Amino acid sequence: MTPFPTAAQKRAALRRLLAEQSFIVSPAVHDVFSLRLVEQAGYASACISGAMLSHGLLGIADIGLLTLTECVEHCRRLTRAARIPITADADAGYGNARGAHYAVELFEEAGAAGINLEDQVVPRRAGAAGKEVIGTAEMAGKLAAARRARRDPDFLIIARTDAFAVEDTDAVIARARAYEEAGADMLLAMAPPGEAAIARLVQALRIPVTLSAGTGLGGAASAAGLTLAQIARLGVRRVSLTTLLPGGAVAGMRAALQALRSDDPAAGEAAARGAQAIGALFDAPAQHAFEAELLRLP
């Protein structure tokens, strides 16, 4: 079987993408099924959504209850199976600057290509209501600690700011510049109020700006309700699609269960094709051949 790229090779590949491509789409993956589909669809990078992870592993909204260990181990399973770079969600760094330093050590060791590190007050809030952010200096300290912790310079430190929920654009830009100076490699701005704010942020920073764009099939509040084409025209360098594949999976599983009750022959044939697709997704013949090769070794 063809060896997968190493973690360092995948991190370097993501850096090259950012250097060479004007706009990158990174779908969120929540298991190896979704990862393989993203790879086969030709996407060159992916991300892990903390919100989808919280729903999928705990059945609880994204309010910061997932532990560092749970997130790192899930990341490790995905990156180990990945041919493409995957960035992970590290919430607010699991504590102060020391916690952020430790989180980077663990996520880098687990094979992540980078992490999101956010400026929300802990416990964090999901959605737009009731958000609070820590002071700029405290967040800058977390980012500086994160930068110091990494061993691979290609490991991305993505500073996420939720400050648009509580501050005006001028204040957010001031924050973003401080985050850049502290060592952030990219800025993830959540829920900007519109195109003008995004354009100003892009123009004010030397580092790339990324947005979280939901499914990417329609405007999401997290990305000012803009389409992917509109986002790209503003100079945003990357979008993460946090809900596209989890939403598609939920819809598909619901439809399969409803079809099971209908006793429709056509539905049965479709389900059989789906089951066969699982083997193709993971190249089962190649895996069996590799196993047989190993068993014949002296």
Does residue 76 sit within a domain?
yes
**Residue 89, helix vs strand vs coil:** strand
The beta strand positions in 82-232, using DSSP E, are: 86-89, 114-118, 156-161, 186-189, 209-212
Q: 47 and 13, same structural domain?
A: yes
Place 274 in a pLDDT band, splitting at 50, 70 and 90. Answer: confident
Examine the domain organization and report whether 233 and 275 are in the same domain: no
Query: Both 82 and 161 in a single domain?
Result: yes
Q: Kindly state whether residue 136 falls inside one of the protein's structural domains.
A: yes
Whether residue 172 is found in the same domain as residue 99:
yes
Is 262 found in the same domain as 218? no
pLDDT at 128: 65
Same domain, 27 and 76: yes
Residue 2 belongs to some domain of the structure: no
Question: In Å, what is the CA distance from 103 to each residue of 63, 117, 212?
Answer: 18, 10, 22
Nearest CA among 145, 100, 98, 137 for reference residue 118: 100
What residues make up the domain containing 102?
Answer: 7-245
Domain assignment of residue 66, yes or no: yes
Same domain, 59 and 182: yes
Check if the beta carbon of residue 105 is closer than 8 Å to that of residue 93: no
Number of domains the chain is built from: 2
Model pLDDT for residues 73-86, shown as the tens digit of each residue:
999 999 999 999 99
CB atoms within 10 A of CB 23: 14
Asked if residue 138 and residue 24 are part of one domain, the reply reads yes
Q: Radius of gyration (Cα) for the chain, nearest Å?
A: 20
Q: Is residue 51 part of a domain?
A: yes
Residue 1 in domain:
no
Render pLDDT for 30-43 as a digit per residue (tens, 0 to 9): 999 999 999 999 99
User: Quick one: 182 and 274 in the same domain?
Assistant: no
pTM above 0.85, yes or no: yes
More confident residue, 256 or 54: 54
Locus of tokens 């089951």: 275
Query: 126 pLDDT band (50/70/90 cuts)?
Result: confident
In a domain? residue 223: yes
The closest alpha carbon to 226, from 15, 23, 35, belongs to 23
Residues 256, 171: one domain? no
Among residues 207, 223, 245, the one where a domain terminates is 245
C-alpha dihedral sign at 135, 138, 144, 145? negative
- Identify whether residues 147 and 239 lie together within a single domain: yes
Higher pLDDT, 246 or 287: 246
Question: Per-residue confidence at 17, pLDDT binned at 50, 70, 90?
Answer: very high
Instruction: Count Cα neighbours of 84 within 13 Å in the Cβ-side half-sphere.
Output: 24
Say yes or no: 236 and 257 in one domain: no
How much is the average pLDDT of 106-119?
98
pLDDT grade for 279, boundaries at 50, 70 and 90:
confident
115: domain CATH number is 3.20.20.60
Please tell me the distance from the alpha carbon of residue 116 to that of residue 87, in angstroms, as a whole number.
8
